[in-house]
Structure 1
Amino acid sequence: MHSGSCLCGAVSFRLLSEPKTVSNCHCRMCQNQHSAAFTTYSSVPRSDLEYLSGQELLTASVIRKFCSACRSNIEWSGSEKFPDWASITMASIDTNLKPKNIKDVHLESRVCWLQSS
């Protein structure tokens, strides 16, 4: 089981199962939202995401949830294609989660200055 939190610690959560998928999203929305070249998400069934504290601090939109105290991005969900799944930002997971595979998605908007690994 893995747990995580936002920057200020007000929001905490745990994953009741291992993530099924881990992906680096290179879409423009993630780049702008996180001010980064890409964002890494781990995906679990929505029923396997349990908030332990601070759920009332989560500001929700159709797609993203973040802590309204520190503005840490926590959850991406609401996909019409995968309505029963939630994706958690890997950077918010506090325990040692080492995914076996990480896939890159939305490479059509990958920044030109990012080096391939």
Structure 2
Amino acid sequence: MYKRSCLCGAVTFELLSEPKATSSCHCKMCQKQHGAAFATYSSLPQSDFRYLSGQEQLVSYNSSGNIVRKFCGVCGANIEWAGSASHPDWVSVAVAALDTPFYLSSIKEVHADSKACGLVQG
């Protein structure tokens, strides 16, 4: 249904169903991982997520508790995170890296208490 690839194209995967939830996360881990003010992820059942190529290029990082983040070891592009205690059979994928169009009806803001401060011009 949706195709995705990392920046260098080594890792490709597809989503076999429509994501069930999309959120922009403002937590410090997502900010640091993406080098941005927030990260937008869509979540779906793990069974509806399939790697097509490049699994040998994946690097995993246990960022907290059971949460494991995966990224391409060649270009560093974020691929997925999984391991939520409340949704152990789900995976969340970075929306910005989808190669096929993805139209969102809503995006939930999470960890807004950690929002990055605005830039100050001097």
Which TM-score band applies after superposition, normalised by the shorter structure?
Answer: over 0.9
The answer to whether structure 1 residue 28 and structure 2 residue 22 are counterparts is no
Q: Offset at 1:24?
A: 0.3
Q: Which has the larger radius of gyration?
A: 2
TM-score, normalised to structure 2, is 0.90
Structure 2 regions of 5+ residues with no counterpart? 63-67
Match of 2:17 in 1: 17
Structure 1 unaligned segments of length 5 or more: list them: none
- Amino-acid identity (%): 58
Rounded Cα–Cα distance in structure 1 between residues aligned with 2:33 and 2:46? 22
How far is 1:40 from its partner?
A: 0.3
Kindly state the Cα deviation for residue 16 of structure 1 after the two structures are TM-superposed: 0.3
Aligned length: 114
1:62-101 to structure 2, matched below 5 A, reads 62=62, 63-101=68-106
Q: Deviations over 1:65-105 (max 9, x none)?
A: 00011110100111122110000001111100011111100
Partner of 2:41: 41
1:110 aligns with 2:115: yes
SS at match of 2:80: strand
- Following the alignment from structure 2 to structure 1, what is the Cα–Cα distance between the partners of residues 44 and 15? 8
- TM-score, normalised with respect to structure 1: 0.93
Separation in 2, partners of 1:69, 1:100: 33
In structure 2, the residue matched to 1:3 is 3
Match of 2:55 in 1: 55
1:13-42 CA-to-partner distances (Å, cap 9, x unmatched) read 000000000100000011111110000001
